[in-house]
Amino acid sequence: MKILKIASLFCLSAAILSASSLKDAIENATLDGWIRGKYFYSDGRDGSGQGYQMFFLPTVHSGEVDGYSLSVGVFAAYGPGVPDAVTSDNSIGGSRAPRIDQSSAPDVFNISNLYINKNFESTKTTIRLGQMNIVSALNAGTSYGDRGLGGMITNEDIPGIKLYISAYDSWMTDNIMLMMNQAFTYGIGNNIVIMGVESNKDLPVKGLGFKLYYSWAQQLYNLMMFGDIHYKYEFENGLSIGVLGQVAGTVMNDGARFHTKEGSNLERYFSDLNDPTLNYGGVAKTRGIYNLQANLKFAGYTTKLGYIGSFGQGYGTMLDSKGAFDVGGQLWNGIIAGGIMGFGWTGAGAVKNTNLKAVYFTHKYQLHNGLGFGLDLVWVGGNNRFPYMKKGSKRIGDNGRNRGPVIPARAGGKDSDYGKYVRGKGNLTADSEIVEISPQISYKFTKDLSGSVVYSQLVGDMLMARTVVTLKYNF
């Protein structure tokens, strides 16, 4: 790790820092990030697939010189987000096998962060310029893979309040990159602005917290908003009870289109959804989701009971499939990868006449020896246009009880048949009522190394199970 820090900082800093400043920058450098490995196994009437996913995301931060610092990070990823109708037979490929071979969109090795930071002594303000991860309540679940070229400013001069604004000229979210199912790289050129205000630990009202975020994207959406307010009351015996309310809404631009690489699946996304001959149903102009929750915590045990509902023409409201929503469940909003499930703004809920409702009840118990247990119970219903894995898509395609492909890029058709469902190659959708039962076990080997096993069973209109084994190391 020390060699990585020194090499990265020397190459990037030598041109802009004096000899003494470069020495300080290297000696005071820090390294953070994580390594994660996952194994997926899905089986059942409506799903199959197994495979590995490996992530490596280190970022080196130089020491500050007159308030300035430089950060550089890499993102190495191998393996599909969710293996769908594939096996792990060829996962290793041999020690000299190329990983970046233009045959699999999720496989990447790239510079994830390359930016200059400026911290001001006279004010609690930070300015960041360059290529960076997009970090906001609108994409909290995938910020590690969401990147933009632009700038970000944060300020915490007001006690208990954090102010945030960012703007990007070119950007891409990890979910969109995955769902468009193409191996070549491209970006989104629609200018995007994200602004937010949220509480921090210094808020004078004990137990109260909030978040409010707003975004606008040129010729994509006129408004994307997320609000959160929560309150926790702590008793003297260690018991705490809390309530949480969250809401998100998106209003699309009437002429929405992506400014992106010509000929890409992303370029034609909106026109294909609105094409009456493809029968997707058209883009939902207004979308909304809300989440109401009560929670309790005592002596290592945490439980949450909540209800999710929607409003507007659809329920696709967030830059990723979850954002900062605090909801239960391990599988229902991630049956297939890439933000197509859940609250993603370009996924299943982006189409007219869709809605979602769900009830969740979660339980977690953490022992002092690092061992933890959990159980998530979720019921999901509504005209939700739920995506099925390829195995389940064959079944609902054969019986005719479906609402067509989830998005054109995942329909299976190519060339003149692009956007049309091809049996065994595409993902169909159906309004589905399902119940998820997900027991879990976790263990913290050290402060930085943890592992978990999650088994999820879906019953109802969709029958399938998935086991996910995860190891993660933070540094």
pLDDT per position as a tens digit, 357-384: 999 999 999 999 999 999 999 999 999 9
Are 33 and 9 a contacting pair, CB within 8 Å?
no
Closest CA to 360 of 373, 376, 345: 376
Predicted pLDDT of residue 3:
45
Over 70: is that where the pLDDT of 100 sits? no
State mean pLDDT over 185-192.
Answer: 92
Over 50: is that where the pLDDT of 10 sits? no
Closest CA to 293 of 281, 282, 307: 307
Cα separation of 324 and 114, whole Å?
Answer: 25
State mean pLDDT over 310-333.
Answer: 96
- Residue 31's identity, in one-letter code, is L
Q: Strand 30-43 to strand 301-312: parallel, antiparallel, or no bridges (unpaired)?
A: unpaired
Residue 79 CA from chain centroid, whole number: 16
Closest CA to 66 of 118, 14, 115: 118
Q: Which residue in the block uniquely carries the two structure tokens 């018991």? A: 239
Over 70: is that where the pLDDT of 106 sits? no
Long-range CB pairs of 21-29 (<8 Å, 24+ gap) are 21/65, 24/63, 24/65, 25/62, 25/63, 25/64, 25/65, 25/69, 25/70, 26/62, 26/63, 27/63, 28/62, 28/63, 28/64, 29/5, 29/60, 29/61, 29/62, 29/63
DSSP tag of 5: H
Question: How distant, in Å, are the alpha carbons of 30, 34, 59, 160, 441 from that of 450?
Answer: 22, 11, 20, 32, 11
Q: Which residues contact 128 (CB under 8 A, 6 or more apart)?
A: 115, 116, 117, 118, 151, 152, 153
**All domains of the chain, ordered by start, with CATH?**
2-474 (2.40.160.10)
Q: What percentage of the chain exceeds 70 in pLDDT? A: 92
Q: Among 8-12, 65-69, 171-175, whose mean pLDDT is lowest?
A: 8-12
Over 50: is that where the pLDDT of 110 sits? yes
Q: How many CA atoms lie within 13 A of 370 on its CB side?
A: 10
More confident residue, 400 or 377: 377
For 98, list phi and psi in degrees, rounded to 5: -70, 140
Q: Strand 429-430 to strand 386-387: parallel, antiparallel, or no bridges (unpaired)?
A: antiparallel
Predicted pLDDT of residue 20:
60
Give 140-170 pLDDT, tens digit per residue: 888 888 999 999 999 999 999 999 999 999 9
CA angle 210, 330, 47 (to 5 degrees): 145
